[in-house]
A and B are shown apart, each in its own frame.
Chain A
Amino acid sequence: MFEGLWGYEHPLSGQIRRLEEELDSLFGSGASLTGTRNIRSLPAGSFPAVNVASTPEALIVYLFAPGLESKAFDISIQQNLLSISGAREIPLDETATYYRKERFSGDFRRTINLPDDVDPERVDAKYTCGILTIRVGRRESAKPRQIEVR
Chain B
Amino acid sequence: MTTQQNVTQEHERGSTARQATQRSDAAMRPPVDVFETADGMRLVVDMPGVAKEHLRLQTEGNTLTIEGDLQFEITDRMEALYADVRSTLYRCSFVLSSELDTTQIEAILKDGVLAVRIPKRAAFRPRRIEVQTG
A-side residues, CB < 8 A to B, are: 24, 28-29, 44-45, 48-56, 59-60, 62, 64-69, 90, 93, 95-104, 127, 129-131, 133
Which residue of B73, B85, B113 contacts A49 across the interface (Cβ within 8 Å)? B85
Chain A residues with CB under 8 A of B37: 93, 95-96
Q: Which 4 A-B pairs have the closest CB atoms?
A: A130-B112, A66-B112, A130-B48, A49-B84
Chain B residues with CB under 8 A of A96: 35-37, 42
Chain B residues with CB under 8 A of A65: 48
Which residue of A28, A104, A127 contacts B31 across the interface (Cβ within 8 Å)? A104
Chain B residues with CB under 8 A of A29: 82-83
Chain A residues with CB under 8 A of B48: 48-49, 64-66, 129-131
Bound-state Cα–Cα, A52 to B78, Å:
10
Number of cross-chain contacts by CB at 8 Å: 117
Bound-state Cα–Cα, A67 to B36, Å:
21
Q: Which of B16-49 contact A (CB under 8 A)?
A: 31-38, 42, 44, 46-49
Inter-subunit contact B36/A99 (CB<8 Å): yes
User: In the complex where A28-B83, A50-B84, A131-B72 touch, is A90 in contact with B33 (Cβ < 8 A)?
Assistant: yes
User: In the complex where A67-B46, A68-B111, A131-B48 touch, is A51 in contact with B77 (Cβ < 8 A)?
Assistant: no
User: In the complex where A66-B46, A100-B33 touch, is A129 in contact with B112 (Cβ < 8 A)?
Assistant: yes
Chain A residues with CB under 8 A of B79: 53-55
Quick one: CB contact mask for B57-85 with A, threshold 8 Å, 1 for yes?
A: 00000000000000111111111111111
Inter-subunit contact B82/A66 (CB<8 Å): no
Quick one: CB contact mask for B82-93 with A, threshold 8 Å, 1 for yes?
A: 111110000000
Nearest chain A CB to B31 CB, angstrom units: 4
Nearest chain A CB to B78 CB, angstrom units: 5
Inter-subunit contact A129/B32 (CB<8 Å): no
Inter-subunit contact A130/B35 (CB<8 Å): no
Nearest chain B CB to A118 CB, angstrom units: 13
Nearest chain A CB to B113 CB, angstrom units: 4
Inter-subunit contact A52/B82 (CB<8 Å): yes
Nearest chain B CB to A38 CB, angstrom units: 10
Closest partner residue, chain B, to A25 (CB atom): B84
Interface status of B105 (Cβ within 8 A of chain A): no
Interface status of B116 (Cβ within 8 A of chain A): no
Interface status of B50 (Cβ within 8 A of chain A): yes
Chain A residues with CB under 8 A of B77: 55-56
Nearest chain A CB to B123 CB, angstrom units: 20
